[in-house]
Amino acid sequence: MFAEVIVDVVNKEVDKIFDYIVPQNLNVIAGTMVLLPFGNRTVEGFVLSLKESSLVPKEKQKSIISVISEKQLITTEMLQLAKYMKNVYHLKMVDILRLMLPSQIRLGKVKDLTIKNIKINNDFNFVNNYLNTLKANAKKQKEIIEFFINNDKISIKKSDLAESFSKSAIETLIKENVLIQENVKQNREPLKNIESNYKSVVLNEYQQNAVNKILEKPKTYLLHGVTGSGKTEVYMNVINNVLKQNKNVIMLVPEIGLTPQVMRQFKARFGNLVALIHSGLSDGEKFDEWFKILNKESRIVVGARSAIFSPIENLGAIIIDEEHDNSYISDSNPRYSTHEVAEFRKNYNICPLILGSATPNIDSYFKAKNNEYELLELPKRANNKELPKIQIVDMCKEFRGGNTTPFSEDLMEKLNQTIANNNQCILFINRRGFSSFVMCQNCGYIPKCTSCDVSLSVHKDEHQLKCHYCGKKFKLLTKCPMCGSEHLKYGGVGTQQVVNLLKEKFPNVSIFRMDNDTTKTKDSHAKILSDFEKSKPAILVGTQMIAKGHDFPYVTLVGILDADLSLFMNDYRSTEKTFQLITQVAGRAGRSDKTGEVVLQTYFPKHYVYNLVANYDYIRFYEKEINLRQTTLFPPFSKIVRLLITSEKEDDAKNATHNLFLNLKELRMHFKEDVYFLEAMKSPIGRIKNKYRFQIVLRFANNNDIINEIFNLVDRNQSKSVTIFVETNPLSLS
C-alpha cells in the first residue's frame, strides 16, 4: 500500500504529491497526519489518499515512520475542497491544508489541558476497613472520607478539596490509597459561563417569509435587510430548524472578536452546542474548540472567515452575516474568497447558503437580480423605528468660515446636546494614530520607513513614529533632522488626536478609543465596549472596528468625521465601500426607543454617493453603480487580475515583470477582443518589508481559458529570488 502525501514544508520546489510506503503495522487513512523521512530530515505530512501501486522506482521508495493521529483530521469534504481551491486559486496544497488544520493542531505545540482530580477508591470494603481501623483522634481523615461517601462518585480538583479540608490528611489518604489521583481533561472554553439573556420574539411577516423560503430549497439566498431589521433573528430561527433536522450549521461573522455581543447571544441561546473560532482565542481555546467540532460535540460553528474551514459535517445551513465585509476576502497568501468556498460547501452538503447584509456587495446583488441567488428583503427596522436621519456637512465651508478643527459646528452642537441628555455618541474616523504623517514646514522633509516606501504615522501617546505596513517604530521628532527647523506640521487627523481634542473640550466625560493600537491584547475589545456601554454620558472614538454590529441603546448620535477617506482609494470598489461603511456606522444610532441622528462630514458634499446614502437608497445606488461598471467593463462584467511580483532585489523583480509582461502581450494576441486592459508598473507602494514590488494588471472578459493561461505563465516565470502572486479582483492595487 502507498500513501499520497503532501509534506508540511513550504518551499516552491516541493509543492507536489509524494508517494510513501505504508508499513503493514501502521493504520493510515486519508486525511491523517504522519511522520516522514524527507531528504535527511523527519517532517510531518498530510495523507491525501491511498493506492495499491506507485510509479516511483523501488530503490527510491521510502516508508512512513509513524502516524501522528489515527483520526481523520481532514475530512473527505475538506480534501475535495482543497483540490478545488488548488485549481481555482492556483495555491500550494500545503498552504490550503494549513488553513484546514490550524497550527495549534498541526505542530503538536498545544495539548489537551488536564488537571489533577481526587476521587475515592471505588473498592468499598477497602475504604470501610480503613475507616474502622482509624484512631478516634484522626478526625480530619474521617471528615474527608465522609465527604466522598456523601457525595457519590465525586471527582474534585485537589486545590479545591484543600480549601475545605486538611492538606496533610489528604496526602495521607492518597498515600494509603484511600483517595486516588486522576488526570481529567479540562475543556478550555471561551465565554464559558454566560447567562442566558435571550428573549424570544415573534417574527414579523418579512422575517417569517424569509425563514420559510430558506427552509424550502437548498440554494443561495441574499438576505437584504436594513440595519436593525432583525436579520440575526432570522438566522437564529433557521439554525433552530436545522438542528431539529439533525443537521449542523456554520455561521460566519466578520471579525467576530470585535462583536462580543453576537458571541454572547449565540452562547446564551445554544450553549454548549456552539463552537467559537476566531483569532482572539488563546491557543488552548482554539485547540479545544476545534476538537469539539471534529468530535461532533459542537453542532454550530460561529466564527470569522477561517471558520469556513471547520471540519463540521452534515451541514444544514451556512450563513455569512455582513456578507459585504472586506474580511471575507483573504488578500494575503493563501488568497481565496469565502463566498466561493462557502458555495462549494453548500453544493457538497446540498444545503442553503444565506448571505445577509444591509448593503450587499454589488456582485451579490447582481447575482440576485439575475436569479443566481434568491433575493429576500427585510425593508423595515424590527422595532418599526425610522432609520436615523443623516445630515451632510460641507467641511470646505467650515474651513472657509475659520473652523480648522476636525469637528463641524453642527456636530459640536449635537455633541453638546447628547452629553447634556446623558446619552452616548460614536465618532468614526478611519485613521489610527495621532496623524498619518508629519512634515517639516521649512524644507518639506517627511519621515519614511526604512523598510517600506511609505511615510510614517505619528503616535504621540507612545512618543513614536510607526510604519503601518511593517510595524517598525522610530522616535518621535522634535525637530527636522534635515534642516533643524522646529516647525513641524501634522497631516491627516487620526483617532489619538480626536480623543486628545475631545478630552480638552469635555474633561468630565468618559471618552474611549477603539483601534488597532488599543485592542492588541486578548479581550481588550470586549473591555472597551463594555466600559463604554456602562458609562453615561460617553463618547467612543474609533476606526471601522466600531462599525460592526454593535447594539448600544443609548447611542443617539453618530459622527462620521471624514467620510471621504475611503472614497478615493485605489480600488474600483471605493464608492461601494464608502456607501457600505457609512450605512453601517450610521446604523449604530437610535437602535432602541431613542431617536438617533448622524452627522456626515465631507469635503465633497455634492458626490452622488452621499446623497444616496443619506436617503438609505441602496437600490438606486446599486443601479448607478452597476450601469457604470457595465459601460466601463469592470466586475462583475469582467475580471481584474493583478500579478504582484516581489523580490528583495529590485532588478530581479523588474526583469521578471518585464518578461512576464512580454508573455502576456503575446497571450493578448490570442484573446484579442477579450482582454480589455494590460499594463505593467511599479506598485504604488514600491517597497514593503524590504521587498520591491512591481505589478501587472489585466482586465478581461469572464473567460476561464485566460486565467488558466495566466497561471501557466506565472508558473514558468517563478524563480528562486522572485515571488509572483496572482490576485483576482483584489481589494486594493496599492
- The contact set with ligand ADP (CB under 6 A) reads 201-204, 207, 225, 227-233, 382-383, 551
| Count, residues in the chain | 734
Closest approach of Cβ 248 to ligand ADP, in Å? 22
543 binds, among Zn ion, ligand ADP, none (CB under 5 to 8 A by kind): none
CB-facing half-sphere around the CA of 695: CA atoms within 13 A:
20
204 binds, among Zn ion, ligand ADP, none (CB under 5 to 8 A by kind): ligand ADP
Calpha distance 613→550 (Å, rounded) = 20
Residue closer to Zn ion (CB basis): 437 or 661:
437
Residue closer to ligand ADP (CB basis): 589 or 643:
589
442 binds, among Zn ion, ligand ADP, none (CB under 5 to 8 A by kind): Zn ion
Residue closer to Zn ion (CB basis): 451 or 655:
451
Alpha-carbon Rg for the chain in angstroms = 30
231 binds, among ligand ADP, Zn ion, none (CB under 5 to 8 A by kind): ligand ADP
Dihedral angle over CA of 471, 472, 474, 476, nearest 10: -10
Residue closer to Zn ion (CB basis): 423 or 435:
435
Reduce the DSSP state of residue 709 to 3 states and report it. helix
Closest approach of Cβ 201 to ligand ADP, in Å? 4
Residue closer to Zn ion (CB basis): 188 or 472:
472
Residue closer to Zn ion (CB basis): 522 or 689:
689
Q: 224: closest CA among 212, 208, 241, 207?
A: 207
Which residue is nearest to ligand ADP, using beta carbons? 230
Calpha distance 330→340 (Å, rounded) = 12
Closest approach of Cβ 306 to ligand ADP, in Å? 22
480 binds, among ligand ADP, Zn ion, none (CB under 5 to 8 A by kind): Zn ion
Tell me if 91 sits within 8 A of 85, measured CB to CB: yes
Calpha distance 236→337 (Å, rounded) = 25
Residue closer to ligand ADP (CB basis): 206 or 428:
206
Q: 304: closest CA among 282, 279, 287?
A: 279
Calpha distance 143→150 (Å, rounded) = 10
Closest approach of Cβ 446 to Zn ion, in Å? 10
469 binds, among ligand ADP, Zn ion, none (CB under 5 to 8 A by kind): Zn ion
Closest approach of Cβ 250 to ligand ADP, in Å? 18
383 binds, among ligand ADP, Zn ion, none (CB under 5 to 8 A by kind): ligand ADP
Dihedral angle over CA of 365, 369, 374, 377, nearest 10: 70
228 binds, among ligand ADP, Zn ion, none (CB under 5 to 8 A by kind): ligand ADP
Closest approach of Cβ 454 to Zn ion, in Å? 6
Closest approach of Cβ 261 to ligand ADP, in Å? 9
Closest approach of Cβ 443 to Zn ion, in Å? 3
Calpha distance 223→233 (Å, rounded) = 12
391 binds, among Zn ion, ligand ADP, none (CB under 5 to 8 A by kind): none
Tell me the C-alpha to C-alpha distance, in Å, between residue 483 and each of 88, 439, 480, 629, 698: 54, 12, 6, 49, 44
Calpha distance 515→538 (Å, rounded) = 17
429 binds, among ligand ADP, Zn ion, none (CB under 5 to 8 A by kind): none
Residue closer to ligand ADP (CB basis): 313 or 551:
551
Calpha distance 121→125 (Å, rounded) = 10
Residue closer to ligand ADP (CB basis): 207 or 455:
207
Calpha distance 615→392 (Å, rounded) = 11
Reduce the DSSP state of residue 227 to 3 states and report it. coil
Calpha distance 423→428 (Å, rounded) = 17
Residue closer to ligand ADP (CB basis): 379 or 507:
379
Residue closer to ligand ADP (CB basis): 309 or 428:
428
Our measurement of the distance from residue 260's CA atom to the centroid of its chain's CA atoms, rounded to an integer in Å, reads 14
Closest approach of Cβ 693 to Zn ion, in Å? 13
Closest approach of Cβ 691 to Zn ion, in Å? 11
201 binds, among Zn ion, ligand ADP, none (CB under 5 to 8 A by kind): ligand ADP
Calpha distance 706→700 (Å, rounded) = 8
Instruction: Note the residues at the interface with Zn ion (CB under 5 A).
Output: 440, 442-443, 445, 449, 451-452, 467, 469-470, 472, 480, 482-483, 485
Cβ burial of 653 (10 Å; 0-12, 13-18, 19+) is buried
Residue that has been written with the C-alpha cell 478615493 in this structure: 568
Beta-strand ranges (E) seen in 93-217 are: 113-120, 156-157, 179-186
Closest approach of Cβ 434 to Zn ion, in Å? 18
